[in-house]
Amino acid sequence: MQLYKLQYISQIACIIAITLFTSNAFAQKAEPETEFKYVKNTDNSRTLTYSVKYIKGDAKKSSEATNVPISFNTGIAKENTKIVNTNSFGIAQYIIPADQKLPLNNGKYSFSATIIENPLLESKSDSITLIDLGLEMKLEVIDSVKTIVFSTFEIDYKGLQTPVKADVVFYVPRTFSKLKVGEGSTDEKGNGEIEFPNGIPGDSIGNLTVIARVEENEMYENVENVQTIAWGVATNYHIAKFHRALWTTVAPRWMIITLTILLLGVWGHYIFVVYKLYRIQKVSKQIS
């Protein structure tokens, strides 16, 4: 009898284990939503950014896919593969050093990002093919006018530069975003210039960071050049320690006086009511 019970229990345990295994094995994986970006930086390093999102169950909004392994490939050879996990924002980033030699295919660079096999998401791969573009920027004062002089050129496998036309946008970083201060295009010789606007607030000595970007170009993707110069209006953002204002920690005197009068009026009414109740109770005892 006991042997029969043990066999029965073992059969139930096997059925449960098989059910769990099959349910996990055939569980439907989520289809990822991905975005692959390439940026060539000022120092000629390159940043590959891969963002991954997916929809959880019956949710209507996408959520960031965290801790998902991403394989970045910069060429055909296996040694050019780098694996990076996505962070808490669902973003994996790989910076290719400026001195790293990259293989060329018909004069173009190829980069790819692949979601490695995992139990959460379906595998997916995105790729970018581009021509290497150089972007130079000089900040000069020409005839008393602040001028941005810039040039664009393609770079071949030997490092030779060929001037090309390209649209360039210029920004100045602000606290929560980038302020667009101008845009221009290079000519057939790959040269261009624009006037820098006056009156933009800088730091305490007027320093500004100027960003030149070729953005979302079909042939070159994103290329940027960043420089700092004292072309801004010197601004002191420090607030005096004892400065009285609505936005500081020390309230204005008129506000303190007004609040004090209101509080004294309220507590005065409380004390008056308690006193009257005491008098009523005392008089009622004398009458009785």
In degrees and rounded to multiples of 5, residue 162 shows phi and psi of -120, 115
Q: Which of 59-73, 77-91, 142-156, 267-281 has the lowest mean pLDDT?
A: 77-91
What pLDDT sits at residue 240? 55
Per the domain annotation, does 12 fall within a domain? no
160 shares a domain with 100: no
> Do 155 and 76 lie in a common domain?
no
40 and 122 in a single domain? The answer is yes
CATH number of residue 194's parent domain: 2.60.40.1940
Per-residue pLDDT tens for 8-38?
566 565 566 555 444 444 457 888 999 999 9
Q: Return all residues near 200 (Cβ < 8 A) that are at least 6 apart.
A: 172, 179, 181, 208, 231, 232, 233
pLDDT (mean) for 275-281: 88
Nearest to 125 by CA among 134, 116, 137, 133: 116
* 3-class DSSP state of 281: helix
Cα gap 286→288, rounded to integer Å: 6
142: in domain:
yes
Residue 245 domain-assigned? no
Number of domains in the chain: 2
Partners of 106 in beta bridges: none
Q: Are residues 55 and 126 in the same domain?
A: yes
> Which residue shows structure tokens 């573009």?
133
Average pLDDT over residues 164-180: 94
Does this model's pTM top 0.95? My answer is: no
Residue 4 has pLDDT above 60, yes or no: no
Phi, psi of 72 (to 5 degrees): -95, 130
Range of the domain at 189: 133-229
Residue with tokens 């970007």: 213
Any idea which residue has 């972007």 for tokens? 135
State whether 38 and 126 are in the same domain. yes
Question: Where a domain ends, among 113, 130, 147?
Answer: 130
Residue 75 lies in a domain: yes
Segment 138-153 mean pLDDT: 96
Domain boundary among 97, 130, 163: 130
> How does pLDDT run across 59-108, given as a tens digit for each residue?
778 889 999 999 999 876 666 689 999 999 999 999 999 998 888 888 89
- Residue where a domain stops, chosen among 130, 159, 189: 130
